[in-house]
Amino acid sequence: MSHAFIVTKEHRRFTEFANAVRKDKTIGICHGPAGVGKTNSARRYANWDILEPYIDEWGPRGDHDAKHYALANRSRTVFYTPEVLCRPKDLMSDIDHWQMKVGICADEHLRSLSTDAASSRQNDVKRLIELLIIDEAERLTPSALELLRDQHDRTHLAIILIGMPGIDERFRHYPQLFSRLGFSHQYRTLGREELLFVLDRHWKRLGKVLDLDDFTDAQAVAAIERITRGNFRLLERLFPQITRVLKINQLDTITDDVVEAAASILVIGN
Ligand SMILES: Nc1ncnc2c1ncn2[C@@H]1O[C@H](COP(=O)(O)OP(=O)(O)O)[C@@H](O)[C@H]1O
Ligand SMILES: [Mg+2]
């Protein structure tokens, strides 16, 4: 999605949760329904939209390196999405790879700060990584969970597992892991106020001003609330359709009818 990230209350709550897990060097679970913004929040926290392509490329060093090194040093976080049916060993070596790469970047930054010209690379740059975030954690097999738990025990790496509602219940079946869980965090849908905040931005993007005292606007907002139930993904998918409906019908105002029409396209286009 090309849309700008919106710092919502839920994102701020996620940040606090992640900081707490990291500070306590513990394991935390973040769970919530699909489409509420879990992945976006976690990637944002890890600065992953910037670091991932940079590390993936890993080309000849250039002018923009210092910026990335500083960023890696600030976040010291690895974000990882396991593949479906991933093999535990591959998972661990992938994670190792990312820890190493982010660690090297952070280390480069630290060395650039050091006045001691002879300062050499830390023996284990991976140690610089303070937090590992694993998205789609329901894909992890019991052996993968066991390997992660083992790494946590050995290195005290803080870990966040992100998944759907009920994932915390599933982890109850793994006492070894469950006994190490420090925090469980529920990622919620947008509240009414936040929904209005996001809608206000969408209205502005379309060159309009949202006015809740205006009956038509209030009706349209009520329809959007009912259809999306504060789900970020639905909301983001609805707006391009609203724009389309307005354009096709040469309309200028977002009414509840326009919203309904947009929603019906959305279902068909599913
Ligand atoms: N903070 C945000 N700012 C802007 N758009 C967001 C934000 N969070 C989520 N979205 C939108 O909602 C969609 C779903 O978010 P995502 O993080 O993938 O949800 P989840 O991981 O909970 O299923 C994203 O593709 C994006 O369009
Ligand atoms: Mg997700």
Per-residue pLDDT of 26-50, as tens digits, reads 999 999 999 999 999 999 999 999 9
Ligand 2 centroid – CA 200 distance (Å): 25
Mutation pick for ligand 1 pocket among 40, 162, 238 (CB with most ligand atoms within 8 Å): 40
Residues of the chain with CATH 3.40.50.300: 9-186
pTM score of the predicted model? 0.91
Ligand 2 centroid – CA 133 distance (Å): 12
CA dist 264 → 12, 29, 122, 219, 242 (Å)? 33, 35, 57, 17, 11
CA dihedral (187, 222, 233, 15) positive or negative: negative
Pocket around ligand 1 at a 6 A CB cut-off: 1, 3, 5-6, 8, 11, 32, 34-40, 232-233, 236
- Chain segment 130-173, per-residue pLDDT in tens: 999 999 999 999 999 999 999 999 999 999 999 999 998 888 88
| Residue 1: predicted pLDDT | 44
| Residue 61: predicted pLDDT | 79
Superfamily of domain 9-186: P-loop containing nucleotide triphosphate hydrolases (3.40.50.300)
Amino acid at 229: R
Atom 5 (ligand 1) nearest CA: 5
Distance CA 86, CA 142 (A): 12
